[in-house]
Amino acid sequence: MQNNNQEKRFLTVMEFCAMARIGRTTFYRLMKAGIIPHTRLGSRILIASEVINNLAEKAGEKS
Report pLDDT for 47: 97
Annotate the chain with three-state secondary structure. Answer: CCCCCCCCCEEEHHHHHHHHCCCHHHHHHHHHCCCCCCEEECCEEEEEHHHHHHHHHHHHHHC
More confident site: 60 or 29: 29
Cα(63)–Cα(47) distance, rounded to whole angstroms?
A: 24
Report pLDDT for 5: 53
More confident site: 20 or 62: 20
Tell if the pTM clears 0.85, that is, is over it: no
pLDDT digits (tens, 9 = 90+) for 15-53: 999 999 999 999 999 999 999 999 999 999 999 999 988
